[in-house]
Amino acid sequence: MEREINAFEARFDPSIKEVLVLTRDNTGAGRFGQNQMWSASLSILAMVDTESDALIAGRRSLTWLMTDMQRRTDEKIFGLKAEKIYRLKVRESLPLIIEETGRTIERGASLLVCEVVERDCADERLEGILQKYQQPVTLHPEGCGTLLLHKHLGVFSGDGEWNGCVCTVYLDVDTEEAETADHALAVWNRLCADAAEWDEKARRYAAGLLTEDAKDWLMDNEEADEDEIEEFTEEEFAERITPGEICISNHGDFEIYYDDDDMFWGHVIIVHGTLDGDFTGAEIAG
């Protein structure tokens, strides 16, 4: 465990600085590979270097290590909460080159929390950023009601209608800090313009991959009619499923979530596709 802690802390400059931070999220945690310790993390919207009084905009992350027992507590060591201003002692991360891509992560992209000096701090600049962040951002695309931006997730969501079915629509924002979804919205508009054709193609694609699996699941029902199930066709499969959610990424690919009509005992059917007309997979989930 000591080796693990030393390796983690080696990623950060040994010098400690004091900063004011405006948090965005509550504390989350992850554990990688064979590690015993959990890495805590939460994003910040901006910070102030207390030595220079310089406002540093842009999102960074706070991090620290904790044991499994500490992870299970509400405090998670430091008790940091979303949308609060704290005075912290931190160590800045060193520059890091990602070998697979050659991309360089800049110095200070993450901050190792050493101490919480003060809670519920006041700073007009950070308070102004928080006030703007808390203002709702919405879209009103054709075929939808109001789509609300969930800023901590980077996605707009709300109810829409697609090929005569009421669906929940999810549109990714254009970039991590954006409040627009132009790329995903363009895909939504294309899917709506030819909704019947896209829906039919997606149903047929899912039926081609999953009908035999559906037969196996249906056979598990004690009241199943084996002869009827053996004659169950891809056309019948396609007719039984109905769209319930559509998720569109900012890269242009999309997922259509279909209700399974209890063929898979209430699991959802997910069809993956692109505007090129290619479907890349279909599976059950949930």
In the chain, domain spans = 2-127, 138-285
DSSP class of 139 = E
CA distance 255 to 14: 45
Output the CATH code of domain 2-127.
2.40.50.140
Residues facing 149 on adjacent strands:
156
pLDDT score at 215: 85
A 10 A CB-CB count for 131 gives: 9
Contact status, residue 145 vs residue 158, Cβ threshold 8 Å: yes
Mapped onto helix, strand or coil, the DSSP state of residue 86 is: strand
How would you write the pLDDT of the chain (286 residues) with one tens digit per residue?
788 999 999 999 999 999 999 999 999 999 988 889 999 999 999 999 999 999 999 889 999 999 999 999 999 999 999 999 999 999 999 987 776 777 777 888 999 999 999 999 999 999 999 999 999 999 999 899 999 999 989 999 999 999 999 999 999 999 988 899 999 999 999 999 999 999 999 999 999 999 999 888 877 666 656 767 777 899 999 999 999 999 999 999 999 999 999 899 889 999 999 998 889 999 999 7
pLDDT score at 109: 92
The β-bridge relationship of strands 85-92 and 54-66 is unpaired
Contact status, residue 35 vs residue 67, Cβ threshold 8 Å: no
CA distance 61 to 44: 6
Helices of type H across the chain: 2-9, 68-71, 124-134, 182-193, 195-219, 226-230, 234-240
Contact status, residue 62 vs residue 120, Cβ threshold 8 Å: no
